Amino acid sequence: MAKKLYIKTYGCQMNVYDSERMAEALGGQGYEETASPDDADMILLNTCHIREKAAEKVYSELGRFKGLKAEKPDLKIGVAGCVAQAEGAEIMRRQPMVDLVVGPQSYHRLPELEARAGGGAKALDTDFPEEDKFDHLAKRPKANRGPTAFLTVQEGCDKFCSFCVVPYTRGAEVSRPAQRVIDEARDLVERGVREITLLGQNVNAYHSAGAGGDWSLARLIRALAEIDGLARIRFTTSHPNDMSDDLIEAHGTCEKLMPYLHLPVQSGSDGILKAMNRKHTAESYLRIIERLRAARPDILLSGDFIVGFPGETEADFAQTMALVEAVGYGQSYSFKYSARPGTPAAEREEVSEEEKDERLQRLQALLRDQQRAAQDAMVGREVSVLFEKPGRIAGQMGGKSEYLHAVHAHAPRAGRGEIRKVRITESAANSLGGVLV
Ligand code: 5AD
Ligand code: SF4
């Protein structure tokens, strides 16, 4: 009988992709996935270390499995992801019931680690090995899949923003060879995928030398656009300094590249940007936005923001608000600064929690208004929707527009994976409603 694997994924989309690949790799060990930890033979937490809260969640979650482990001594408990990388053996000291700790660059060694762990034996691997883990991970099985998929093309970060743990947990920037990415994309499309989101911590820093010379992200996107049956391409997350001319141009010329871009700026104050080691200014960011909009006037922009970075004054914060006003975001993610051990900013004196709270509220109110305005502006327009699943009402289908808005429409004969034109008739809290054209 197959053993059961319960994976819980925290954090970013790259973790979602990694969890899929880990489940496949463990499939070779006779595991199949289960939706509940209660009947699992192995529990794997794929963790996030980006902010303190995210990391602490892991320990409280592990605490909840104590009872299960007591009932079922054969149960294997593993911690993967960025907390595993950052804390390593410390996790087993804090939570002795953990059998296995594996960092993001060692997932291809997971089957071997799993075999070693358990019955009192511990397995730990937080190396940054030379070999490409994706080469050694079991191939995605041939089963059909949903219409959208993530595909990691680049990992790691060399930017060293002074607040961020990613360069330490995910290591240096590494890009996968273009041909591998193209082959994997073809394979996904053969199995029903119509939209692929290319992933990387710094995805637009993608760079690989290989067959046919140098590959940039823009060139990769153009090559992927040649795949019949692949209808949509997205990519995330990007750094402003890697928004190259050819990538900006691709937004205007490549039809399969969707008019949506997540381009974090973090702050609108040049002083804070400098202290964050972002290596760009508010002005240079705004110029990029201008050029993107010249290439693709309807592009919907998304951003990340941090409030209360050490040394941030009210005047600095006002500049962040001004930048947000100037850009007009359709989507956004905003956070209170959270000191991360080992990062340069963690050495600096913090802004008070009250100020952080108050600024976050003001920023989020503005961003919420912008998001709602962008959504409301869709009413009366025609969008194309990739249907992903039936809606809550009989005959309804739900999916995403090219701008990544959730859209539902009465479409009783439309199947999963179909792309249909929809005229938007209503804008609700978190989604749009429309009718088939
Ligand atoms: N504190 C708060 N937010 C952070 N982010 C990264 N590190 C921190 C931190 N220490 C945010 C940034 C980044 C997003 C993924 O998470 O905005 O773009
Ligand atoms: Fe972190 Fe900056 Fe790298 Fe993004 S670019 S992963 S925020 S260090």
Q: What is the CATH number of the domain that holds 420?
A: 2.40.50
CA distance 222 to 15: 26
Residue 8 counted as domain residue: yes
What burial class does residue 281 get, using C-beta atoms within 10 Å of its C-beta: 0-12 exposed, 13-18 middle, 19+ buried? middle
62, 90, 125 - which closes a domain: 125
Q: What is the CA radius of gyration of the chain?
A: 22
CA distance 79 to 84: 6
Ligand whose nearest atom lies closest to the CA of 340: 1
Both 69 and 101 in one domain: the answer is yes
Neighbours of 247 (CB within 10 A): 24
Ligand 1 centroid to 409 CA: how many Å?
35
Residue 233 counted as domain residue: yes
Both 10 and 116 in one domain: the answer is yes
Ligand 1 centroid to 235 CA: how many Å?
19
Nearest Cα neighbor of 133 from 178, 159, 103, 100 is 103
Number of the ligand 2 atom closest to the C-alpha atom of 157: 3
Top mutation candidate among 202, 206, 241, 262 for ligand 2, by most atoms within 8 Å of CB: 202
Residue 175 counted as domain residue: yes
Beta bridge partners of 6: 43
In CATH, what number is assigned to the domain containing residue 89? 3.40.50.12160
Both 120 and 11 in one domain: the answer is yes
Residues in contact with 371: Cβ distance below 8 Å, sequence separation at least 6, in sequence order: 329, 330, 331, 332
Strand order in 232-236's β-sheet? Answer: 148-152, 195-199, 232-236
Ligand whose nearest atom lies closest to the CA of 168: 2
Q: Do 65 and 43 form a contact (C-beta atoms < 8 A)?
A: yes
Neighbours of 244 (CB within 10 A): 14
Q: Do 180 and 134 form a contact (C-beta atoms < 8 A)?
A: yes
Please give the structure tokens belonging to residue 144: 């059909």
Please give the structure tokens belonging to residue 376: 């409301």
227, 258, 289 - which closes a domain: 258
Pocket lining: 159 vs ligand 1, CB cutoff 6 Å: no
Residue 240 counted as domain residue: yes
pLDDT at site 138: 64
Nearest CA to ligand 1 atom 14: 304
Pocket lining: 338 vs ligand 1, CB cutoff 6 Å: yes
Ligand 1 centroid to 50 CA: how many Å?
6
**Which letter, b or e, does each residue of 319-349 get, where b requires 16 or more Cβ atoms within 10 Å of its Cβ?**
bbbebbeebebbbbebbbbbebeebbbeebe
Both 77 and 149 in one domain: the answer is no
Nearest Cα neighbor of 425 from 407, 400, 412 is 407
Residue 424 counted as domain residue: yes
Domain range for 33 is 3-125
Residues with CB under 6 A from ligand 2: 157, 159-161, 164, 166-167, 201-202, 239
Ligand whose nearest atom lies closest to the CA of 345: 1
Both 120 and 36 in one domain: the answer is yes
Domains identified in the chain, total number: 3
Q: Do 34 and 5 form a contact (C-beta atoms < 8 A)?
A: yes
Residue 283 counted as domain residue: no
Both 113 and 149 in one domain: the answer is no
80, 97, 125 - which closes a domain: 125
Top mutation candidate among 49, 163, 169, 199 for ligand 1, by most atoms within 8 Å of CB: 163
Nearest Cα neighbor of 237 from 11, 10, 7, 398 is 11
CA distance 251 to 294: 10
Q: Do 101 and 89 form a contact (C-beta atoms < 8 A)?
A: yes
Ligand 2 centroid to 247 CA: how many Å?
19
CA distance 43 to 22: 12
Nearest CA to ligand 1 atom 7: 164
Both 116 and 195 in one domain: the answer is no
Number of the ligand 2 atom closest to the C-alpha atom of 266: 7
Both 60 and 160 in one domain: the answer is no
Ligand 1 centroid to 12 CA: how many Å?
11
Both 183 and 230 in one domain: the answer is yes
Ligand whose nearest atom lies closest to the CA of 166: 2
Q: Which residue has the tokens 């991970």?
A: 137
Top mutation candidate among 12, 160, 162, 166 for ligand 2, by most atoms within 8 Å of CB: 166
Ligand 2 centroid to 21 CA: how many Å?
24
The 3-state DSSP class for residue 170 equals coil
List the chain residues with pLDDT less than 70: 138-143
Task: Name the E strands within 184-343.
Answer: 195-199, 207-210, 213-216, 232-236, 260-262, 300-307, 331-336
In CATH, what number is assigned to the domain containing residue 226? 3.30.750.210
CA distance 281 to 134: 36
Please give the structure tokens belonging to residue 408: 């539902």
Ligand 1 centroid to 54 CA: how many Å?
11
Nearest Cα neighbor of 379 from 331, 433, 430 is 433
pLDDT at site 426: 97
Ligand whose nearest atom lies closest to the CA of 264: 1
Question: The whole model's pTM is what?
Answer: 0.94
C-alpha 429 chain-centroid distance: 23
Nearest CA to ligand 1 atom 17: 304
CA distance 173 to 170: 8
